[in-house]
Structure 1
């Protein structure tokens, strides 16, 4: 029986590359994004892959999240990847922080992943062993922060890292592994053109980690090479 991946933010970049790699590996994939009608490359994959389903989902729409969970009730999910994220305004300087944008970044990066887990926890429990993976960032590491700045994005990722740590404790009895992953500085719309690696290299590394992950690694913060990152 094929394994089942559920992924958010699947319309481009890392998310779209993940969809492609898991489909190639024979998985059933449920891919979500805010505007499927604008996600041409993702929806084109539907014609070639019976094992792909695409749903509209805004991770900050908690009611819509629950409606989708109701639609998928009873379906085991082996791997849930929370990939949806938002950087917010770049170049924000101390003394010029947009508080409304800060709230928006927190809503997407820090609050939504927990609500996604709450909605699909029952599906993860239906699998014999399952994983909840959150795409975090080394920018959320306090031990690695030597350059300062980026207050909005850094704080949102530090917050979700704390959520990951708590979930790894609370979900142990459900046999659900929880991990925070740093994809590297990737050439994507968020990462920009100067990124050090492309999406293929990043996702290949992330998938290698997830394929071999066990409960002993639950609660860890790992980069795409499998190296542990300081909190």
Structure 2
């Protein structure tokens, strides 16, 4: 039985992951922590409150000072079992832009949410991840401790053949770099860290032309999580577990 926290759970992939985890029969989930900025605007998420293992918490990835309060709320529920999986999913994007249209405020805003937010939230929840890892010394993957950063193929430098998307690309590339450092820094603690590209998905961010449904992406991510082990540590993968180039 594991405890999992998903950020940005009010819509899109985050909401889809919460739904999948609540109904997932592949691995048993004791607690699902779903964060959103405003529960009053998260109608579909709030409708899932009938599930006893779901805990909906408010969190704003720009307000880094609130993360330790969030960690305290999670700690009060998981107690000495800790947190097994942190899925840093919340993020923002902007329209396709060439260099002449890039705005510094867009760059700063996306770095705050897409890069700095996940790093600082991981820092705040690290004691709970360490507790889970120590508690389950003989286990691996989701039954021990895993940090999952939802990245994007647009963060790949090697596969960038279109240019543009300066704010989003650079923030996700930086997130990938953070994933790699986490995988090294926390290896001795038995905590894995991976970056996952969820695919181009039909969401408010992905748009109507995206080829994937939310259910396809989230099913793939959960299947990957079920099979994750030390060999995946520090890697960049798509939602089906295929290795991606940095």
Q: Shorter-chain TM-score: which interval?
A: over 0.9
Please say if residues 176 and 215 of structure 1, whose CA atoms lie closer than 8 Å, have aligned partners that are also in contact.
no
Task: Tell me the SS of whatever aligns to 1:181.
Answer: strand
Task: Tell me the SS of whatever aligns to 2:60.
Answer: coil
Partner of 2:216: 201
Partner of 1:144: 159
Which of the numbers 206, 222, 229 marks the counterpart of 2:237? 222
Please say if residues 9 and 34 of structure 2, whose CA atoms lie closer than 8 Å, have aligned partners that are also in contact.
yes
User: What RMSD, in angstroms, separates the aligned Cα atoms of the two structures?
Assistant: 1.0
1:168 pairs with 2:168: no
1:114 pairs with 2:116: no
Cα drift, residue 93 of structure 1:
2.3
Cα drift, residue 70 of structure 1:
2.0
Aligned partners of 1:86, 1:141: CA distance in 2, in Å? 17
1:92 pairs with 2:97: yes
Cα drift, residue 92 of structure 1:
2.2
Gaps spanning 5+ residues in structure 1: where?
Answer: none
Which of the numbers 85, 105, 117 marks the counterpart of 1:79? 85
Aligned partners of 2:71, 2:96: CA distance in 1, in Å? 37
Aligned partners of 2:45, 2:174: CA distance in 1, in Å? 30
Which 4+ runs in 1 deviate beyond 6 A? none
Aligned partners of 2:60, 2:168: CA distance in 1, in Å? 19
Partner of 2:41: 38
Deviations 1:31-67 (CA, angstroms, capped at 9, x unpaired):
0010111101101110x20110101100121121111
Partner of 2:57: 55
Task: Tell me the SS of whatever aligns to 2:99.
Answer: coil
Deviations 1:65-114 (CA, angstroms, capped at 9, x unpaired):
111112223451111100000103x1322212111111000000111111
Using the size of structure 1 for normalisation, the TM-score is 0.96
1:174-193 equivalence runs, <5 A: 174-193=189-208
Aligned partners of 1:204, 1:102: CA distance in 2, in Å? 31
Using the size of structure 2 for normalisation, the TM-score is 0.90
Deviations 1:138-182 (CA, angstroms, capped at 9, x unpaired):
000011011111111111111100000011000101111000000
Higher helix share: 2
Please say if residues 4 and 87 of structure 2, whose CA atoms lie closer than 8 Å, have aligned partners that are also in contact.
yes
- Equivalences, count: 228
